[in-house]
Amino acid sequence: MDKYVIEGGRRLAGSVALQSAKNSVLPLFAASILTEKRVTIRETPAITDVACMAQILRELGADVRFAGENVTIDSADACCHEIPPSLTKELRSSVFMLGSLLSRFGRALIAYPGGCDIGLRPIDLHLSALKRLGVSISEREGYIFCECGKLCGAEILLDFPSVGATENILLAAVKAEGRTVLTGAAKEPEIVDLQNFLNAMGAKVSGAGTDVIEIEGVKELRGVSYRPMKDRIEAGTFLLAAAACGGEVQVVGVAPENIRLLLHKLRENGCKIHAKNDKITIESRGRLKCNRRIETMPFPGFPTDLQAQATALNASCAGCALIVENLFETRFKYVPELQKMGADIEVRGRTAFVRGVGRLHGASVTAGDLRGGAALVIAALGAEGVSEVLDLSHIDRGYADLRAKLKGLGADIRRVHI
């Protein structure tokens, strides 16, 4: 097990280039199984979730090869429709394989997916939508078995704009017979990226980024070389770190409209923000003010994947903040670790009341999930004294060499094996 040792209190300065988006790359890996032709995904981040997804594809019979940041996937010999439970329990995004496997093989066997412990995250929306496409589903002893004679286009209405369900429907419907109209779709930028990837393979998908997506089924898809979008959550993490530490930092690669509400909240804190093209510069000086209220919502609302990091920032700001988590019921599990650093936070259900303190102090804390771990790193960077952030396995799931990027901005951070 590794840990970060962080000497807090250093201002951050400089520029940081962003990795490709974890939440885009993983569905693209799942989509690669839809064709027997070779697929290359360029500039893939070296994170453990990608390694796990690659292993899932190998278990299905695909040939997956890494050459630096580029990954080539050849699934011509893929023949297996079963995903080992040891891998599904490690990776929530394994659920994306349902639509792809059904489209390719007409059947899929998968254990209930795992990932970070941030709530139940039921997949009822996925399953009910697949049934509309002609899939029969049985559940027994923690496994989901799906089978179909053929997939047929359908009218599908989602009661909630689930990102995962939207992506699964796209993957299942793209080669279905006829036309599928999905109403109530998630609007996240990663959905648009998946549409662009599929269309580059010869699919006929339109409407991504709106709440109505139309898919005209095609008989086959071709290979493609594709560069995914940059990671808006990584961008937000660095911007929030710069706000907490003070200084001037530029993040390169993110479209400002993809994190518009975060930028508004940072201005509310008292930061200066300059955004042009794919570059966003933040300037943070003096003690910042708390946000009055942050409420997570589906895109274009405030991202749940930045809630913990924003809470860490507010913990040392002046005033009080109300943080409301609408998407995952146990996403405040990191709060007791922030309290070890002197944070004054009271959690009631899905709401956290934050009273800003003068400054957090160093402590030994443990990362219990990916974004909560990032929040602890931000808190440690802005705190007085030395902190240890233990169990980096969660952070490694979504951030490629976070230490090196922060060190390049002037942070005093070391990775130590224990």
Could you tell me the CATH number of the domain that includes residue 398?
Answer: 3.65.10.10
DSSP-assigned letter for residue 306: G
Provide the pLDDT for residue 95: 79
Per-residue buried b or exposed e for 324-349, using 16+ beta carbons within 10 Å of the residue's own CB: ebbbbeebbbbbebbbbbbbebebee
Provide the pLDDT for residue 118: 35
Q: CA 205, 104, 397, 367 torsion: positive or negative?
A: positive
Establish whether the linkage from the previous residue to 300 is cis, with ω within 30° of 0: yes
The residue among 331, 336, 347 whose CA lies nearest residue 296 is 331
Per-residue buried b or exposed e for 21-50, using 16+ beta carbons within 10 Å of the residue's own CB: bbbbbbbbbbbbbbbebbbbbebbbebbbb
Looking at 226, 257, 273, the residue that finishes a domain is: 226
Residues 360 and 294 in one domain: yes
Looking at 204, 226, 248, the residue that finishes a domain is: 226
Residue 22 · residue 231 · CB < 8 Å: yes
Residues 282 and 135 in one domain: no
Per the structure, the complete domain to which residue 245 belongs is given by: 2-19+230-417
Looking at 183, 198, 226, the residue that finishes a domain is: 226
The residue among 84, 382, 117, 59 whose CA lies nearest residue 241 is 382
Residues 384 and 285 in one domain: yes
Residues 186 and 235 in one domain: no
Which of 116, 271, 290, 317 is catalytic? The answer is: 116
Provide the pLDDT for residue 329: 78
Provide the pLDDT for residue 263: 98
Residues 13 and 33 in one domain: no
3-state secondary structure of 129: helix
Residues 106 and 137 in one domain: yes
Residues 158 and 240 in one domain: no
The residue among 226, 385, 372 whose CA lies nearest residue 309 is 372
Residues 177 and 269 in one domain: no
Residues 114 and 244 in one domain: no
Distance CA 234, CA 374 (A): 10
User: Rg of the chain over CA atoms, in angstroms?
Assistant: 21
| Structure tokens, 356 | 């800003």
pLDDT in tens, the chain (418 residues): 899 999 999 999 999 999 999 999 999 999 999 999 999 999 999 999 999 999 999 999 999 999 999 999 999 999 888 888 878 777 766 777 899 999 999 999 887 764 444 344 468 888 999 999 999 999 877 788 999 989 999 999 999 999 999 999 999 999 999 999 999 999 999 999 999 999 999 999 999 999 999 999 999 999 999 999 999 999 999 999 999 999 999 999 999 999 999 999 999 999 999 999 999 999 999 999 999 999 999 999 999 999 999 999 999 999 999 999 999 877 899 999 999 999 999 999 999 999 999 899 999 999 999 999 999 999 999 999 999 999 999 999 999 999 999 999 999 999 999 8
Residues 310 and 393 in one domain: yes
116 is a catalytic site residue: yes
Q: How many structural domains is the chain composed of?
A: 2
Q: CA 95, 98, 101, 103 torsion: positive or negative?
A: negative
Residues 169 and 197 in one domain: yes
Going across the sheet that includes 107-111, the strands are: 107-111, 143-147, 136-140
Residues 160 and 270 in one domain: no
- Give the angle subtended at the CA of 231 by the CAs of 165 and 125, to the nearest 5°: 10
